[in-house]
Amino acid sequence: MTSAGPGRPRKQQPVRPGATARDEILDAAAELFTGQGFANTSTRAIADAVGMRQSSLYHHFGTKDDILGELLKGTVTGGLDFARAIWSSPRPPDAVTAAAALHAVAHYDAGLLCNARWNLGILYHLPEARAERFEPFMADRRELRQLYRDLGQRVEKLLPAARGAGSAPLGELAFRLVESVINLRADGLADADSASQTADAGVVLAGLSADLGKVREHSAYLIREFRGIQVP
């Protein structure tokens, strides 16, 4: 079944966050997918959670997979856009500013995962998420992962002593550390400091503990510069 267009207007007032009925559907699906599982959630349950007829839902999304694809892609879009902007900025002249670029990406990305209304990162582990139809999400995630690796290599070239864990490249380690906040949220352990602590961990593992304050300061500047966000 394919989507029939932008969707019919509803008579009742919105019952969920979102500017449109489509946004409300995504919010309801996110809650249900993360709470009771993708396989156990029907489109009828999603429609009921929004307060619309199941037939009306199909005017916005043709299938439940279409909803999942939109949610998955949304988990990487913000972090990917930010990482692209950082990578395209002037090349850092020294190891501290290079580390700050990686720190900024990790801090920003981890913040998105920590502060999203629902812990959508847990959907990465769904077997359905590996299906070919979700390739746009997988392609974005691969690009984001590569940008982490590229930013880490800049640090390693400027600071030969920089390292990850064992043979793991620094950027790869930073990427994995950021995705670990998904499990922290699932276990109820994530807090307001989780994003900054995750980014700091990559700097420490790079052997730049003594310069952590300078890295944090420049990282905060980069985040404000590229996204207008005030970092605590």
Tens-digit pLDDT profile for residues 30-73: 999 999 999 999 999 999 999 999 999 999 999 999 999 999 99
Tens-digit pLDDT profile for residues 185-207: 999 999 999 999 999 999 998 88
145 and 49, same domain (yes or no)? no
41, 62, 83: which is the final residue of a domain? 62
Position 11 in a domain: no
55 and 118, same domain (yes or no)? no
Tens-digit pLDDT profile for residues 167-187: 689 999 999 999 999 999 999
39, 62, 85: which is the final residue of a domain? 62
What percent of the chain is modeled with pLDDT above 90? 79
**What mean pLDDT is predicted for residues 100-124?**
95
**What mean pLDDT is predicted for residues 110-130?**
92
Position 232 in a domain: no
70 and 182, same domain (yes or no)? yes
Which residues have a Cβ under 8 Å from the Cβ of 196 and sit 6 or more positions away? 107, 216, 231, 232
Q: Which residues of 42-65 are buried (b: 16+ CB within 10 A; e: fewer)?
A: ebeebbebbbbeeebbbbbbeebe
71 and 46, same domain (yes or no)? no
Question: pLDDT averaged over the chain?
Answer: 89
Q: Is the pLDDT of residue 10 over 60?
A: no
Q: How many domains, the chain?
A: 2
CA–chain centroid gap for 129, Å, is 15
Which pTM does this prediction carry?
0.88
By residue range, what is the domain housing residue 197?
65-227
Q: What is the CATH number of the domain that holds 29?
A: 1.10.10.60
156 and 133, same domain (yes or no)? yes
142 and 204, same domain (yes or no)? yes
Position 152 in a domain: yes
The number of residues making up the chain comes to 232
Position 126 in a domain: yes
124 and 211, same domain (yes or no)? yes
pLDDT at 3 (0 to 100): 43
Q: Is the pLDDT of residue 132 over 70?
A: yes
5, 35, 62: which is the final residue of a domain? 62
pLDDT band at residue 228 using 50, 70 and 90 as cut-offs: low
Position 97 in a domain: yes
Position 217 in a domain: yes
81 and 25, same domain (yes or no)? no
43 and 71, same domain (yes or no)? no
147 and 130, same domain (yes or no)? yes
161 and 82, same domain (yes or no)? yes
Position 162 in a domain: yes
Task: From 88, 200, 95, 93, select the one nearest 147 (Cα to Cα).
Answer: 88
- Give CA separation, 232 vs 99, 191, 197, 199, in Å: 19, 13, 12, 13
- Give CA separation, 109 vs 69, 92, 182, 204, in Å: 19, 20, 11, 18
Residue whose token pair is 């919105």:
14
Position 186 in a domain: yes
54 and 77, same domain (yes or no)? no
